[in-house]
A and B are shown apart, each in its own frame.
Chain A
Amino acid sequence: MSPELKEAYARYLLTLADDEIVIGYRDSEWTGVAPVIEEDVAFSSLAQDEIGHARLYYTLAGQRLGKDPDHLALLRPKEGYYHARLLEDRTTPKYDPGGDHQGGGDWAKAVARRFLYDLFDDLRVEGLLSSADPELAGAAEKIRREEKYHLRHGEAWWRTLAVGSVEARERLEAALEAIWPDLLGLFEPAPGEEALVEAGLIARTTDALLDPWLERIYPYFEAHALPFPGEKAGAEWRLGVEARTGGRQGIHGPGWDELYEEMTMVRRLEPEGTW
């Protein structure tokens, strides 16, 4: 592998890992405060799966970069994380020790984000099954097995919110409208992806997943007549929303400032210590 290819590959693996760790962290916050206790348990399992996937990817990246997976996960500079911006916002209320808690918990956003991200990730992982790197292909296979359950869980909640009550539907629609630009931001490619396709390490660049994803998600909107900000003209999708990108370049918003601060806070006390 040329140094350029190696660098692009490590960057791609970090991007995968960062997506998974960030949504895993954010969803794990529902443990203890989900709408029904049964869902605390379910959503927490999904979050733990994502963290487990992140660990697999960080381990692969770490082998190539000569770094410890925990270092990659918790000790990089804040602007050196490449997850999509969609994934970084908190969707739960936030506890304040003084009692001045922050509200704004949004289950509709949590569910919509998780389901539409999972559908994206499923396509992405599918493209890794045939990777020229057998370790990545193996990881992808394991991950895909688990993600099947995530999709089933997501479908059930999607339907519940779409038809469960007028209020639920309104909240789902509002959440979707708010996240569309960030949903499209998922498809921002990491630098050097084309070379990775050429080398057979990944099947498709991330931006090439957009059309298959739109095909895949559209029926879920159509089934419940949920507003969809675009239409298909011939073989082309025309979308009325602009993507908000930057995540893959390390540009993030306040949700990341907050999360980064929290997730690194204990580790920073003794960065090289054993915890």
Chain B
Amino acid sequence: MTYEERVETFRKRIKEGHKVEATDWMPDEYRARLLKFIEMHANSELMGALPERDWILRAPSLHRKLAVTAKIQDEVGHAQLLYRLVEDLGKPREKIFEDLVQGRTKFHNVFHYPTHSWGDVGIIAWLVDGAAVISQGALQRSSYAPYGRTMRRICWEEAFHLKHGEDIVLTAVMGTERQKRLMQEALERWWEPLMMFHGPPTPPEKDKDLAWGIKTKPNEQLRQEFLSTYVRKIQEIGLKIPDPKLKFDSDTGRWSYTEPDWDKLYAIVTGNGPASKQRLSFRRLSLEETAWVRRAILGERAQAA
């Protein structure tokens, strides 16, 4: 069988719903796309720890402090699971981090923004994680079986994050005017990044990750699901979504909304977001300051003193 024929057979098997294991043969393009896709996901989990991490110390009660710390710990744990998949696909961890801090690889748009208040902590855990769960839910059926399995575990934990976030938001909107305002302002800050979260409405036939079955749902479908799941909940608790054009068309069964600026999204994920440089330089600093620890773990025995 020629290489092309093997690729064709592989494509056909994926279309029929067969899953690929780490040790199976796979086309070069599939491996490369898969690696890039999962690496970006893993980077996002790791970089996603930073905006929320600022609020670990600031959480306003012992209960929230524990919940926020545990939640961020989960996210880092997810990064760990996903980096293992990337390592299995052939990229060593030091190289992954090197590429990340040099800006050669990407992480998700929502982690390129600053956080301003406790409102951001609630909105991130509820809605950013909510948007992520919609993508990740679909990824459970990825053609790459190890990724799908990891997603099942991650989604299970994310369900707790949504509850945690929803509870922070709900508690605040039932509190004083000031508390409610924290949430409303945070929603206004996060709405645009949330609408960009699932990516531009690339036609499914042009989306190669979709063709390879790495992901299973088109971007626009994910965004529509997000809106169907959350718009009503947001409005029910008395928060106002800052998009006058947002509405559900019952004839088409689809949401219409103000089209996000997709060039802006591209600029953000390529390292030009409002907090991209600060986050990357902080990640670089923390890696540099702990490099000696990794060297010590790797070995070079100290001279017996």
Contact = CB atoms under 8 A, between A and B. Distances in A.
B171 A274 contact: yes
A166 B57 contact: no
A31 B73 contact: yes
A97 interface: yes
Contacts of B75: 32
Interface in A21-66: 25, 28-29, 31-38, 40-41, 44-45, 47-48, 51-52, 54-55, 58
A92 B286 contact: yes
Nearest to B275: A97
Given A165-B302, A169-B302, A270 B286 contact: no
B290 to A, nearest CB: 4
Interface of B: 46, 49-50, 53-66, 69-70, 72-73, 75-77, 79-80, 83, 114, 117-118, 171-172, 174-176, 178-179, 182, 275, 277-278, 281-282, 285-286, 289-290, 292-297, 299-305
B285 A265 contact: no
Contacts, number: 186
B172 A275 contact: yes
Contact of B57 (A25, A164, A171, A224): A25
A35 B291 CA distance: 7
Contact of A167 (B50, B58, B295): B295
Contacts of A275: 60-61, 64, 118, 171-172, 175, 179
A267 B50 CA distance: 21
Given A44-B69, A45-B73, A161-B296, 16 more contacts: A25-B65, A28-B69, A31-B69, A32-B76, A33-B286, A37-B79, A37-B80, A51-B66, A52-B66, A55-B62, A70-B63, A98-B278, A105-B286, A163-B301, A262-B58, A274-B175
B73 A259 contact: no
Contacts of A93: 282, 285-286, 289
A270 to B, nearest CB: 5
A46 to B, nearest CB: 11
A265 B178 contact: no
Contacts of B299: 164-165
A47 B302 contact: no
A41 B303 CA distance: 31
B64 A48 contact: no
A267 B297 CA distance: 40
Contact of B292 (A104, A168, A263): A168
Contact of A96 (B69, B70, B278): B278
6 contacts: A31-B49, A101-B281, A225-B305, A263-B58, A269-B182, A273-B175
A99 B296 contact: no
B178 to A, nearest CB: 6
Contacts of B63: 70
Nearest to B57: A262
A44 to B, nearest CB: 4
B62 A58 contact: yes
Nearest to A267: B60
B60 A266 contact: yes
Contacts of A106: 289
Given A44-B72, A168-B292, A101 B179 contact: no
Contacts of A171: 292
A37 B83 contact: yes
Contact of B302 (A54, A168, A266): A168
A267 B292 contact: no
A33 B300 CA distance: 23
A21 B212 CA distance: 50
Contacts of B57: 25, 28-29, 259, 262-263
A259 to B, nearest CB: 7
A95 B282 CA distance: 7
B171 A165 contact: no
Contacts of A103: 285, 289
A74 interface: yes
A48 B69 contact: yes
A69 interface: yes
B228 to A, nearest CB: 30
A31 B62 contact: no
A201 interface: no
Nearest to B288: A103
A29 B56 contact: yes
Nearest to B55: A266
A44 B52 CA distance: 14
A34 B296 CA distance: 14
Nearest to A43: B73
Contact of A36 (B50, B282, B294, B305): B294
Contacts of A44: 69-70, 72-73, 76
A165 B50 CA distance: 30
